[in-house]
Amino acid sequence: MNTRDEKVEHNSLLLLDEISRNKDLTQRDLSDRLGVALGLVNSYIKTLISKGYVTVSGIPRKRCTYYLTPSGFSEKARLTYQHLQNLTNIYKAARADFSALFRSIEASHSRRVVFCGADEITEIAYLSIKETGLELVAIADEKRSGDAFLGQRVLPIGDLVITDFDIIVITSFQDGERLKMALIEAGIDEKKISDVNATGWLGRISARGA
């Protein structure tokens, strides 16, 4: 399954979940709740209806009410299970990649590591680095600057130029390229940036599922 198909299935799951909990939502309500364009919501719902997962009632007049069919509840259960499997695969792949990376860093006799990025993937990196002799000296992410995260205060990326470290590891699932560019623009030597990127994880995960 490619990334586009995964996105479609994820949005379908979100729609089925919202409809199962509140049948009186309008398409605009669904668009606002899910952060998906109104036109896409309309397209997804038409597809779900055509597949027999959702049925629609026009009573009261001029207002549609959506219901999940028995097939819709079965599809919701299937997509939920698949989503959890995908998260498990991402976790396993990320753990393996970070463990290999940190072993490589240890072998190079570097010790002081900075994480750039503060999200769920950073938490996986943290679990992996705790199994080594490496020291996590800082976490930086412009979007979460000042927040408390994993027992540290998240720094703005600009502060890293005055931070004592050996290597920076980008630890973000979606923002890797943005963070790398921000580091370079801040004056960080590219040779001191290591990026275990999301594209690699997703590529291997897709290959496993093929």
Q: What CATH number labels 92-209?
A: 3.40.50.720
Instruction: Count CA within 13 A, CB hemisphere, residue 8.
Output: 10
First to last CA, the chain: 7
Q: What CATH number labels 3-68?
A: 1.10.10.10
Domain limits, CATH 1.10.10.10, in the chain: 3-68
pTM: 0.64
Residue 75: exposed, middle, or buried by beta-carbon count in 10 A (0-12, 13-18, 19+)? buried
Domain limits, CATH 3.40.50.720, in the chain: 92-209
Alpha-helix runs per DSSP H in the chain: 3-21, 27-34, 38-50, 70-107, 120-129, 176-185, 198-209
pLDDT of 20-54, one tens digit each? 888 778 888 888 888 888 898 889 999 999 999 99
pLDDT of 168-208, one tens digit each? 999 987 677 888 899 999 999 989 998 876 444 444 444 44
Whether the predicted pLDDT of 60 surpasses 60: no
Cis before residue 156, ω within 30 degrees of 0?
Answer: no
Among 119-123, 157-161, 165-169, name the one with the lowest average pLDDT.
119-123
Helix orientation angle between 3-21 and 38-50, rounded to the nearest 10 degrees: 80
- Give the residue carrying structure tokens 């909990």: 21
Angle ∠(109,112,115) on CA atoms, nearest 5: 125
pLDDT of the residue at 83: 81
Q: Using CA atoms, how far apart are residues 161 and 141, in angstroms rounded to an integer?
A: 14
pLDDT of the residue at 172: 84
